[in-house]
Amino acid sequence: MRKAVYPGSFDPLTLGHLDIIRRAAKNFDELIVSVVRNPSKNPLFSIEERVAIIKNATKDLPNVSVDHFEGLLTHYVESVGASIIVKGLRAITDFEYEFQMALMNRKLNEEIDTMFLMTRNKYSYLSSSMVKEVYRLGGDVSCLVTEYVLSKLSEKIIQVDNS
Ligand code: PNS
């Protein structure tokens, strides 16, 4: 059974992430998309909201489940009985950081490998932070996120603006 974990902040999920999920799901028996709880970051969406967004976007993919974790990724991957970490790689700028993380994770657990999927060209510039900034400043992000994310963004940004 080839079980993989696709970890990330997903704050929020973009079409770039979703493309990686769909492509990775074809290559593994089971794919767990897992949202990291990082106490040092101040995300726009709570863990529960991010999990709900990803569940909504992947409901047609029977071998994909959605979870969250805190602490070391390798400990989490071990705990769910997976042996592969899936990562999306955008431009060359991603490479150094991802390379470093992959080597560190391998050092922490020799049994766990990282597999990279190159992003599709059309999503190579896309990031969650950019989506949030463009949306906040009134730009159109409808071709970069799902409709569900778009509706959640509008609720969230209105809440943030009112606070
Ligand atoms: O979507 P992101 O923010 O690029 O995801 C980063 C993530 C979750 C993959 C990374 O921060 C991570 O692995 N966090 C868990 C903590 C950990 O294991 N750190 C050591 C990695 S070398």
Mean model confidence pLDDT for the chain: 95
Q: Supply the pLDDT for residue 148.
A: 97
Q: Let me know if 17 is a catalytic residue.
A: yes
Task: Give the type of residue at 83.
Answer: S
How many Å lie between the centroid of ligand 1 and the Cα of residue 6? 10
pLDDT tens string 27-43? 999 999 999 999 888 99
Closest-lying ligand 1 atom to the alpha carbon of residue 76: 18
Q: Supply the pLDDT for residue 162.
A: 66
Pocket test for ligand 1, best of 86, 101, 112 (most atoms within 8 A of CB): 101
Taking the C-alpha atoms of residue 79 and residue 89, their distance in angstroms, rounded to an integer, is 25
- Token representation of residue 131: 């989506």
CB of 101 closer than 8 Å to CB of 7: no
8 lines ligand 1 (CB under 6 A): yes
Cα four-point dihedral sign 106, 125, 56, 136 = positive
Q: Is the pLDDT of residue 158 over 90?
A: no
Q: Is the pLDDT of residue 159 over 80?
A: no
CB of 79 closer than 8 Å to CB of 61: no
Q: Of the residues 90, 106, 120, 136, which is catalytic?
A: 90
Q: Is the pLDDT of residue 163 over 70?
A: no
Higher pLDDT: 159 or 148? It is: 148
Domains of the chain: 3-162 (3.40.50.620)
Q: Is the pLDDT of residue 71 over 70?
A: yes
DSSP percent split of the chain into helix, strand, coil, nearest 5: 45, 20, 35
CB atoms within 10 A of CB 8: 19
Rounded mean pLDDT of 107-129?
A: 95
Dihedrals phi, psi of 24, to nearest 5 degrees:
-65, -40
Task: For ligand 1, atom 1, name the residue with the nearest CA.
Answer: 8
Rounded mean pLDDT of 118-145?
A: 95
